[in-house]
């Protein structure tokens, strides 16, 4: 999947309605309504497509993509990022002038890289990209 920070997919930008999502991605396998939380948009719905999920609200439309990087090829800034280690991913963010911060999640070296400006959360385990989320920064921040 070729992602564009602050946009989403070229064929499915953030803000797209569920109708547009279904036209592009097809019908999801499952649908889950999430409970409202004060720090999150209300009426969030996750549509499960197996290898990836999309998150929408009726008023905001599409607000994020989440996927397992072992199952889906991820392209960002015209670079296939699945094979990049955490340092390579940080260099990619730097070279495209996006902020980032890292946090070690446990003593085994699991790392999470977060970029509010790019709307990215990337999870690494043993130097391998394991999960990736692209979200609309305008919705969350």
Q: Kindly write down the DSSP assignment for every residue of the chain, as one continuous string.
A: -EEETTTEETTEETT--HHHHHHHH---SEEEEPPP-TTS-SS-EEEE-SSEEEEEETTTEEEEEEEETTTS--EETTEE-TT--HHHHHHHHHHTT---EEEE-STT--EEEEETTTTEEEEEETTEEEEEEEE-HHHH-
Query: What integer best gives the mean pLDDT of the chain?
Result: 90
pLDDT at 132: 93
pTM check: above 0.75: yes
**44 CB neighbour count, 10 Å cutoff:** 19
65-109 pLDDT tens trace: 999 888 899 999 999 999 999 889 999 999 999 988 877 655 556
In tens, the pLDDT along 38-65 reads 989 999 999 999 999 999 999 999 999 9
Has residue 116 got a pLDDT over 90? no
Domain ranges within the chain, ordered by starting residue: 2-64, 75-140
pLDDT, position 71: 86
């Amino acid at each position: 999947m070729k992602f564009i920070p602050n946009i989403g997919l070229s064929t499915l930008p953030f803000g797209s309605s569920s109708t547009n999502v279904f036209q592009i991605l097809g019908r999801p396998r499952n649908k889950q309504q999430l409970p409202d939380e004060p720090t999150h948009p209300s009426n969030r719905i996750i549509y499960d497509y197996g290898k990836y999920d999309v998150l929408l609200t009726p008023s905001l439309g599409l607000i994020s993509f989440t996927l397992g990087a072992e199952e889906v090829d991820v392209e960002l800034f015209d670079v296939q990022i699945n094979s990049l280690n955490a340092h390579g991913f940080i260099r990619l963010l730097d070279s495209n002038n996006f902020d980032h911060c890292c946090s070690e999640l446990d003593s085994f070296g699991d790392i999470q890289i977060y970029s509010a400006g790019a709307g990215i959360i990337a999870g690494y385990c043993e130097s391998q990209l394991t999960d990736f989320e692209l979200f609309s920064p305008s919705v969350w921040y």
